[in-house]
Chains A and B, each alone.
Chain A
Amino acid sequence: MGEVIVWAVWFAAAGGCLASGVAVVSLQNPFYSALALIGNLASLAILYLLVSAEFLAAAQVLVYAGAVMVMFLFVVAYLGGKADAPWAGGPPLLRTAAVVAAAALLVEIVVVLGLAWGDDLRDPAEVDDSFGSPGAIGELFLTDHLLAFEITSIVLLVAAVGGVVLGTARERE
């Protein structure tokens, strides 16, 4: 029974993910696209929970959906207007080329997965309850991956400065 529920939740979340993804890419109104992305992020959060990444699920919702997307919605509201139709514009070859490229990538990945389905994708490792907990991740950040942690903070600093510069640049025309 538990297995069935997990599978059902998984399918729902996965379906929501993909549907909202398609929506983001194909809707004309940018506001709706942004909302669809929020839905996408929420579905992903559910998927993260199913793989014992609790901290990350929480961070996803808090940071990504809560902060980044809000910023996005602010800008969309400020700019207003309609986005273009999905398949419009550009040389005709462009559309076919885009589809072909994306399809190629997808096919390749499927092939690789198919090749590895049996042996490499065997049972997952055993983990205890602290897997994916904030403590465990925090500990890693401050010991093994300290460098990544610091560099990320610098990147954020640079982004902040850049944002300020972009925002307060005087018009020079």
Chain B
Amino acid sequence: MSGPGIGWYLIVAATLFGIGAMGVMLRRSPLIVLLSLEIMLNAGSLALIAFSRQLGNLDGQVFALAVMAVAAAEVAIGLGLIVAMARREMPLDVDEATVLRG
């Protein structure tokens, strides 16, 4: 393929992953955390697809498609949880959800 080699794609994927990770670790609103999680997943898919092109093997793309499906399912449930939280008038703040405190 012309254009940048796989290394470049991987750098982008890695940076995106880092950005997403920062978002998960630093934001308090569960909505934003979910969005950041999506970014991380997409970064992973990008890496998969890049490798798939590099090796000429479509398995990477198949995997990326499966990731997409699972991510969609996960977002659905996550949003359902957030809506349930809002309906019970719980504060939408990840720091307040301390039931796991030991």
Q: Does B bind A? A: yes
Give A44's nearest chain B residue, CB to CB. B42
CB atoms of A159 and B49 under 8 A apart: no
**Cβ–Cβ < 8 Å partners of B42 in chain A:** 40-41, 44, 64
| Complex interface bits, B67-100 against A, C-beta within 8 A gives 1, otherwise 0 | 0111111111101111110111000110100000
Taking residues whose C-beta sits less than 8 angstroms from the other chain, chain A's interface range is 35 or more
Point out the residue from A48, A83, A97, A169 that lies within 8 Å of B31, measured CB to CB: A83
Distance between A9 CB and nearest chain B CB, rounded to angstroms: 8
How many B residues have CB within 8 A of the partner chain?
75
Task: Tally inter-chain residue pairs, CB-CB below 8 A.
Answer: 250
Q: Give residues in B with beta carbon < 8 Å to A.
A: 1-12, 14-23, 25-29, 31-32, 34-36, 38-39, 42, 45-46, 49-50, 52-59, 61-66, 68-77, 79-84, 86-88, 92-93, 95
Q: Give residues in A with beta carbon < 8 Å to B.
A: 2-3, 6-7, 9-10, 14, 17-18, 21-22, 24-25, 30, 33-34, 37, 40-41, 44, 47-48, 50-53, 55-56, 59-60, 63-64, 67-68, 71-72, 75-76, 78-79, 81, 83-84, 86-90, 94-95, 97-99, 101-103, 105-106, 109-110, 113, 117, 121, 123-127, 131-132, 136-137, 140-141, 144-145, 148-149, 152, 155-156, 158-160, 162-163, 166-167, 169, 171, 173
